[in-house]
Amino acid sequence: MFLTQQDISQTREHSLNNLLGLSSACLEASQHFSELFAAAGRDALYGSSKHWAGFGHGQLESLVHFPVALWLEQSTRNSKLLNAAYEILGATHKSLIQTAESQVRTFDHLVFASLNRASRSSPWEFEIALQAMKTTLKSAETTLHEMSAAAIESVELASPEAHRPNEAMTDTLPPPEKPPVRTRSRTR
């Protein structure tokens, strides 16, 4: 056997820590999503109750502009909700990438330990092949780290791109029109 008891226990510990990190990232994302949706629900209830309260106070002329005003407010709320969801998903994606890279490093450490033990107990001809395998594994690990860094960078760059359509939508929406003021005049 090429692995020691200590190598196996360290690998198990690192794997469990990576799994714990993955679980905490998913739990954190679900907590942020539930907070986000609860706040969006409260905001929507408050906005709709504001409109209905206006009808209750005799402002029936605002009934004409009700669908437009409601649509404008909802589109703004929805774009803010979508922006926050993109931020949560981006942070979770970065955590998943980092956890996956850490788990691959844990397995690589295990393979390096096996190769080192095998090279100590093998003839010199096999040691050359094992050294080539170690070099290949090191370059693969470096490549994986570079790919993870590029993926994290692309998530960070994609975040402003995801916000751009929503910001454009909220910036170009005209403010709701106020109904014309009616006065009572007596004509005879």
CA pair distance 156, 159, nearest whole angstrom? 5
Contact 115, 134 (CB under 8 A): yes
pLDDT (tens digit per residue) in 128-143:
888 888 899 899 889 9
pLDDT band per the 50, 70, 90 thresholds, residue 186: low
CA pair distance 88, 96, nearest whole angstrom? 12
Contact 58, 124 (CB under 8 A): no
DSSP secondary structure letter of residue 122: S
Q: Where are the alpha helices (DSSP H) in 57-123?
A: 66-120
Token match 């359509």: residue?
Answer: 165
pLDDT (tens digit per residue) in 86-121:
999 989 999 999 999 999 988 888 888 888 888 888
CA pair distance 77, 83, nearest whole angstrom? 10
Note if the pTM is more than 0.85.
no
Of 91, 98, 122, the C-alpha closest to 27 is 91
pLDDT (tens digit per residue) in 10-44:
888 998 999 999 999 999 999 999 999 999 888 88
